[in-house]
Amino acid sequence: MPPTAQSFWGLWKRLRAGQVRILWLVLGALLMVSVLPLGLYHRLVLQLSQDKLVDTERLQQADLVRSLAQEIQHFESNLTEQLMSERQIMDLTDVIKDVEDPAAEPKVTHLLQNFVESNPSTFLYLTAVGKSGRGTKASQGNFQAEQDPFVAKALQRAFVTCLQSQQLQVTKFRSDPLALVPDNRPAFVVAVPLKDANDNFTGMLAAVVSLDSILHRLQDASVRGRSVFIVDHNGHIVAHHDTKNFVPGADARGNPLVEQVRALPQDLRNTETMRFSETVKKRSVEMIGTYSTFPELNWAVIAERRLDAAESDTGVDDLNRQALLFAAIVVLAAIVVGYFFAVGISGPIRGLAASTRAISRGEFHQRSVARGALEISELAENFNKMAGDIEEFIEKLKEAAEENRELFIGSIRMLAAAIDEKDPYTRGHSGRVAKYSTLIGQELGLSTEELDKLRISALLHDVGKIGVEDRVLKKPGALTPEEFGLMKQHTVKGANIMRPVSQLKEVLPGIELHHEHIDGRGYPYGLSGPQIPLMARIIGVADTLDAMTTNRPYQTAMDLDFAMERIRTLAGSKFDPIVVTALESAVQHGKLRLSAVEVHV
């Protein structure tokens, strides 16, 4: 048996017999005491960091897919409105009755070419055909729809649908996603029927629509390991940021998020985040993904990301490596220091044993002085030093937690911006309301903590408008009583959306109650006077000020003096006089001014 093997075998026999040198016992105890708590705490903190990372990624993905879904809906509704407008122009120019008429052909060609040239980034091809399928066309550059068999087939289906529009009760046709040759650019065909004054079918106005702008938006959002793409309800790719590997119309079934979308009812609008595993190069990878459906197009926006990529991006991997390095250094230090301290403890004992043996041999002059208290105290001091190192490590972890909190606040700002983007007339509204509310709160002498809560509540005061239908939210004229009733629900919806987030519990009054009036005639609960929290009273005044001083579909922006006069007349009935006085003070001292950008948003 080799010498090394004999040494380990002898050590094992001594361990079983309980005959172990105190040196090894002390070293083993020191290692257990130093490494085990550090390892357990390291594992706990990393788990907490990963959970916070998942929550942050969940919020970011949800904001991203909702925002993209709204952009795509807006894109589709705009192009449909443009086609409708072109059809109306054809009707006004009296060419809609017979676009196949040779006499009308120059005028139709001119109208189509002007339309295509005015929309170069969206419409690649536009054609107006009569009842027999013949007509006039215009296109961008050298694009020839007839040479692409998939586009040609989609145009044929569009003509059949428009021909049967009366029986099918449809107002437009939209094809499945198409991949344009030669570079597989995403596109689709949209068409509307042409009818004369007697509602008789006279032909079709059809366009090949490019999704390049949507594709660029997906590519911009697909950063740092995140993949963002669009699928239809059948599980086929509409547009994907990776155009080389995922062409429009490709089958994406098998992806858990796509399967979840396919399982939903087609008329259901839903946003959901889920964690799942995906096989990449024969290895299971943990993923987190979010989808947002919009039934107007029967499409869904999907964002997914590998958790290990998210951890690398946020520094969790670096934190793990640093922690393991620190643990290795601590282990090495424990071995070195423990060895010397164990020698210091066992040395006096060996001296006493030697003195005992000497006395047994008759050497009675032999003496041994046992010392041990000083060495033990030095060992304790060393552990105190180790505890200080651990405390320093904990402080670093707290700094990482504070960075996660900054990410959380950033997500709130992103959510507020996404809310404002839903309606172009309110762009920047939440930010301005937060600014005015903070100035009023400063005039009222609120503390820094109270101002922080007030600012967050003001940023999120209109979050419930996510749940308000666009036909109500973006209506250019006055709302009907029924529509106003739907609009009033945004306060309660906003509070319900934010209520599951425990960190936002104290800002809910500003979201839910900022439309309550001092005289009890507000909504949603008809509270009055001191029943209304100060936070909600402040946001209500700031919200009204911004609404008066910005252009809206139903009004032109007022100047600041006129708006202030209107607000003064409502003090005591709609608004708290104390809050109105604070607003006047901020204006008089020049703290609150309206720039041209703020007025004409």
Rounded mean pLDDT, 154-165: 88
**pLDDT tens digit sequence for 473-521:** 777 777 788 888 888 888 899 889 888 888 788 999 999 999 999 999 9
pLDDT confidence of 377, banded at 50, 70, 90?
Answer: very low
Q: What is the topology classification, in CATH, of domain 214-314?
A: Beta-Lactamase (3.30.450)
pLDDT of residue 352: 45
Amino acid in position 280: V
Q: Is the pTM of this model over 0.85?
A: no
3-state secondary structure of 516: coil
Per-residue exposure over 181-203, b if at least 16 CB sit within 10 Å of its own CB, e if not:
eeebbbbbbbbbbbbeeeeebbb
CB-based contacts of 532: which residues, under 8 Å, 6+ apart? 513, 516, 518, 576
User: Which range among 186-195, 265-274, 284-293, 304-313 shows the weakest confidence by mean pLDDT?
Assistant: 304-313
Burial code of 375-385, b = ≥16 C-beta within 10 A, e = fewer? beeebeebeee
| Of the options 3.40.920.10, 3.30.565.10, 3.20.20.70, 1.10.3210.10, the CATH number for the domain spanning 422-599 | 1.10.3210.10
**Is the per-residue pLDDT at 1 higher than 50?**
no
pLDDT of residue 371: 46
Same topology, domains 93-210 and 214-314? Answer is yes
The superfamily (CATH) of domain 93-210 is PAS domain (3.30.450.20)
Residues 31-67 pLDDT 10s: 676 666 666 665 666 666 667 777 888 888 899 999 9
pLDDT of amino acid 167: 76
Which residue type sits at 74? H
Query: How far is the CA of 486 from the CAs of 470, 483, 489, 492, 523, in angstroms?
Result: 11, 5, 5, 11, 12
- Chain segment 426-473, per-residue pLDDT in tens: 668 888 999 999 999 999 999 999 999 999 999 888 888 888 887 777
3-state helix, strand, coil in the chain (%, to 5): 60, 15, 25
Give the domain ranges of the chain. 16-47+324-402, 93-210, 214-314, 422-599
Predicted pLDDT at 45: 61
pLDDT at 196: 84
What pLDDT, on the 0 to 100 scale, is given for residue 404? 72
- Residue that wins the pLDDT comparison between 556 and 541: 541
Q: Which secondary structure element, helix H or strand E, spans residue 21, and what is its range?
A: none
* C-alpha distance from residue 357 to each of 348, 409, 446 (Å): 14, 74, 81
- Rounded to whole angstroms, the Cα distance separating 337 from 339 reads 5
pLDDT-derived band at 131, boundaries 50, 70, 90: confident
Comparison of pLDDT for 1 and 220, the residue scoring more: 220
User: How would residue 370 be classed by pLDDT, with cut points 50, 70 and 90?
Assistant: very low
What pLDDT digit, counting tens, does each position of 299-348 carry? 999 999 888 776 665 555 565 666 667 667 767 776 776 666 666 665 55
